[in-house]
Amino acid sequence: MSDLHTKTLTETAAMLQAGDITAEQAVQACLDRIEETEPKIKALISIQAEQALTKARELDAAGPDPDKPLWGVPMVLKDLLATKGVKTTCASKILENFTPFYNATVVDKLEESGAIVIAKANMDEFAMGSSTENSAFFKTRNPWDTDRVPGGSSGGSGATVAAGQCAAALGTDTGGSIRLPASFCGVTGLKPTYGRVSRYGMVAYGSSLDQIGPMARSVEDCARVLQVIAGHDPKDSTSVDTPVPDYLAALNRKDLSGLTIGLPDEYWPAADSDNPLSPEVETACQNAVAKMEELGAKTVPVSLSLTDYAIATYYIIAMAEASSNLSRFDGVRYGHRAENVEELSELYTRSRTEGFGDEVQRRIIIGSYVLSAGYYDAYYGKAAKVRRRIRQNFDKAFESCDLIAGPVCPTTAFKSGEKADPLQMYLIDIFTISCNLAGVPGMSMPVGIGSDSNMPIGLQLLGPTFSEDIMLSTAHLLEKNLPPMPKPGL
C-alpha cells in the first residue's frame, strides 16, 4: 500500500469496507509515511503506533462493519483534544506530561465510528498563533515548501493531511485556525457553526469562539467526518440541540442554479488598500468564483462594513477569555509545578513563567488588563457590543445571498520567521476572524497554485448558521469542476 497516502479518506474507507485492504495495512501505511516525511515537516507531537496497530488488529478480527462509516480509517488529532491514557500537551511546557483520564466527545465519536487515532498533531501553544511557530516543542513546516509555515494554530493537522500521513485530522478554529492552515497546506478545512460540534474535552482558548472541525484532502472527506462528530452533547452547555442533516446526501447537487454568492468588498481589497490581496491569490479566487457562475450561481455585492473592527474586537474578547481559561494552570492541581518555592505567590509566578511561552503570556496579560476594574467597560464591554453588530452585519448580508465567498488570506504561506512582529501576525487573520465572532460556519478549499509562490491558495466560503450542508454541496461541485490539485513534492 505504498500509494495509500495519495488516496482520499473516502477512497480509503471504501477499500477498507470492501476488504481490499485491512485496517492494519492502512495504519501501517500511514506509519511508514510518517517515518518517511516526519523528519522534514515535524507535524506530530506524539505517535501512538502500537496502540493504533493493536486497535487495527482488533477491528480486522471482527471484520468490516458497514454501520461504522470510518471503520479502520487512520486519523490524527490536534493535541488539545483529550485522549484517555495519551498525553495531551497543547504544545505547552505547562502540560508537557499531562495525561487525561477521559476522551473528548469527538474522540469517542470517532472511535465509535471505527476510526483509529494514530497520532497527536503539533500546534501553536494553546492554539495561540497563525503559523505553528509558537509550539513549545518545535516548529512545523509546510509540506509544499519546508522554508514556509503551514499556518496555525492547527498547522500540524494541516501539514499531516497534506503530507499523506493520515486520511484526515481534527483541528480547532478560534479565529481561522482550521481555514488558514487548510489554505496554506492545500487541503480542505471546515469550521462548523458554533455549537454544532461538542467542545467537551477540548482545552479551551476562547470559549465563545472555539470550534472543532475536520481537515482532509477533499470536500467529501470533510463531510464524512463532520457527519460523525456533529450533534448535541449534554456534557457541553454550548452544544446546540438541533437535528444534523445528511451531509453526504447534500453532495449530490448537479449545478448551482438558484444559489446566490455574496462578494463583500471588504474581502476583495483593492491594490492600493492597506492590506491588499497578492495578485496570485486574487486571480485564483476570482477564477473559482467565475467557475461557480458557470455552474449557475449568481453573484451579488454585499457589505461587511465592520470587518476593519474585527481584529481589535476579536483579540480583546479572545485574550480576555484566554486569561480566564488559563488561570487554572497554577502549578497546584496539575501541569508543570515550579520546584523549590517558599510562598504560594512564588509558586504561581514561577510555574506560569516556566510553563507558558511568550505569546501565551502576552495574551494572558492583555486579557487580564481588559477585564480589570476600570477598563472592563472601555475594552471588553465595548468589544462585546461591536461583536453583536458584526453578527448583525452577517445576518443582513445573508438576506441577499446564500453564501459569502472570498480569499482565506491576502497571501500564500509566508516564510518561517517572516512575521516576527505580533501585530503583523494578527493581521493575517483579517478575513477569517469575523466568522468566529458571528458564530457562523466557514470553510477553506484549495482552488489553485500561486503563479509566483508555487504555493496552494484557498477560497473561503461562509454561510448562515447551520448551513454546512449548502456550503459542502457548493464546495463539492466546485471541486469537481476545477483542475485537480497536485500533491506536495515530499
Name residue 457's beta-bridge partners.
448
**What confidence score (pLDDT) does residue 333 get?**
86
Q: How many CA atoms lie within 13 A of 92 on its CB side?
A: 29
DSSP 314-339: HHHHHHHHHHHHGGG-SSSSSS---S
Decide if 81 contacts 201 (C-beta within 8 A): yes
Angle made by CA atoms 433, 248, 192, in degrees to the nearest 5 = 15
pLDDT of residue 422: 85
Each residue's pLDDT tens digit, 368-408: 999 998 899 999 999 999 999 999 999 999 999 999 999 99
Catalytic hit among 131, 177, 416, 473: 177
Q: Tell me, what CATH number does 276's domain have?
A: 3.90.1300.10
Whole-angstrom Cα Rg for the chain: 21
Nearest to 366 by CA among 426, 414, 415, 443: 426
Beta bridge partners of 444: 189, 460
Strand ranges (E), 230-275? 260-264
Q: What is the pTM of this model?
A: 0.96
Task: Report the pLDDT value the prediction gives residue 270, as an integer from 0 to 100.
Answer: 80
- pLDDT at residue 66 above 90? yes
From the list 130, 131, 135, 153, the catalytic residue is 153
- pLDDT score of 414 more than 70: yes
Q: Which of 266, 302, 311, 460 is nearest to 394 (CA)?
A: 302
Annotated active-site residue 78? The verdict is yes
Residues of the domain holding 76: 1-490
Per-residue DSSP letters for 17-33? HHTSS-HHHHHHHHHHH
pLDDT tens figures, 99-152: 999 999 999 999 999 999 999 999 999 999 999 999 999 999 999 999 999 999
The 10 Å CB-count burial string (b at 16+, else e) for 331-341 is beeebbbbeee
Number of domains within the chain: 1
Q: Which helix (H) or strand (E) holds 78?
A: strand 74-78
Instruction: List, for residues 261-299, the tens digit of each pLDDT value.
Output: 999 999 998 877 777 899 999 999 999 999 999 999 999
Q: What is the pLDDT of residue 253?
A: 94
- What is the tens place of the pLDDT at every residue in 293-314? 999 999 999 999 999 999 999 9
Q: Measured between alpha carbons, how far is 102 from 109 in angstroms, rounded to an integer?
A: 13
pLDDT of residue 104: 98
157 part of the active site: no
pLDDT at 423: 83
DSSP β-bridge partners for residue 261: 299, 403
Instruction: Report the alpha-carbon distance of residue 14 to residue 5 in Å, rounded.
Output: 15
Residues 421-445: tens digit of each pLDDT: 888 888 899 999 999 999 999 999 9
What confidence tens digit (pLDDT) does each residue in 165-202 have?
999 999 999 999 999 999 999 999 999 999 999 999 99
Q: Which of 42, 78, 120, 191 is catalytic?
A: 78
CB atoms within 10 A of CB 290: 11
Rounded to 5 degrees, what angle do the CA atoms 116, 140, 485 make? 75
* 218 catalytically annotated: no
> Does pLDDT of 1 surpass 90?
no
More confidently predicted of 422 and 211 = 211
